[in-house]
Amino acid sequence: MFFLSQTDRFLRKVMDMYKNFFLTLFMMISINSAVYSSGTVPYIFNLPTCQTAGSGMFNADVGHRYFDVNRHTTNINLALTYGIINPLDITAAYSFKNKDIIGAMKLNILNDYSESDWISLSFYGGGGYKDANQVNNTFSISAADDSNVESITTLGSEDRTSYFGQMIIQKHMFSNRFSLGVVPSYAYNTNFYQIKSKSDYSSGLGFMTEIYFTDSFSICGEVVMNIGGFAFKYMNYNGGLKFAGYRHTFSLWVSNNNGYSPVEYMTGSEGLTPKLSAAFTREFDL
């Protein structure tokens, strides 16, 4: 009995020690997150925010949009962003599902994080090129994919190029814990979807919001409504959670669209059924 009693005391001490250790570790992580995560992100889920990456900062982003293992609608996106100077950054990205090679640039004009500006204003623009499956073949380990006719676009080279432009107007309030934004958008080349239409463009408005409960944790939402040109039946919506740790951002949300660039999501969706999406962003200081 004495041995069992001593053993029990020892195990309790070990358990208390581990509890204290993990509690301290969690507090340290929370403190680090608060120090290094200022609540500024370069995009919500699809819509860009006014914030840029910052001079000399490099962001690597991996996303899985519209996750569906049965119908294979998941669009994996890889994006690399570099801050040339504080108000200007460039982005190169690729969407595996839609085979869209993307290049973009964001320029910040006004920043309401500073005392001189009462509102934030940025311009985001770029273009895309629908690949003939060469990039996908490069990442594939199967040589048979090279002859997979179904995976190769039938678009002519003259129809693969697309363009987009967005003006981002955003207001941060309550010590930057809450923000609202509107994003007038324009995207050109309806042929991207290989659907015959009278219009080769899509124009619309995006609305977004961020609510930060802590410096690290937030809930966000956005909708993109088409007001002109080609569009599917339903608007695009996204809503979910973000967690920002030390140079890492994790995003988990639901959406009815698997697009990444404005050309991909400006046209909306054929349905309203929500599906999970997730993204992981890592920041580097170059």
Query: CA 204 to CA 229: how far, in whole Å?
Result: 9
The closest of 39, 185, 224, 180 to 104, measured between CA atoms, is 185
pLDDT given at position 152 = 58
pLDDT given at position 142 = 60
Q: Is 9 left (phi over 0), alpha (psi -120 to 50) or beta?
A: alpha
For the chain, give every domain's residue range.
Answer: 1-36, 39-285
For 281, the 3-state DSSP assignment is: strand
Classify domain 39-285 by CATH number. 2.40.160.40
pTM over 0.85: no
138 in Cβ contact with 119 (< 8 Å):
no
pLDDT, one tens digit per residue, over 88-99 is: 999 999 988 788
Q: List the Cα angle 88/176/91 in 5-degree steps.
A: 25
pLDDT, one tens digit per residue, over 18-30 is: 445 444 444 444 4
pLDDT, one tens digit per residue, over 16-66 is: 544 454 444 444 444 443 333 444 578 899 999 999 988 999 899 999 888
pLDDT given at position 209 = 95
Q: How many residues does the chain have?
A: 286
Other C-beta atoms closer than 10 Å to the C-beta of 62 total: 13
Residue with tokens 């003006």: 167
pLDDT given at position 264 = 85
pLDDT (tens place) for every residue of the chain, 286 residues total: 544 455 555 445 544 544 454 444 444 444 443 333 444 578 899 999 999 988 999 899 999 888 776 666 778 899 999 999 999 999 999 988 788 899 999 999 999 988 789 999 999 999 998 887 777 766 666 655 555 555 556 667 777 889 999 999 999 999 889 999 999 999 998 666 767 777 888 999 999 999 999 888 999 999 999 999 888 889 999 999 999 887 889 999 999 988 888 988 888 888 888 889 999 998 887 6
| Ramachandran angles phi, psi of 278, nearest 5° | -150, 150
Q: C-alpha 150: how far from its chain's center?
A: 28
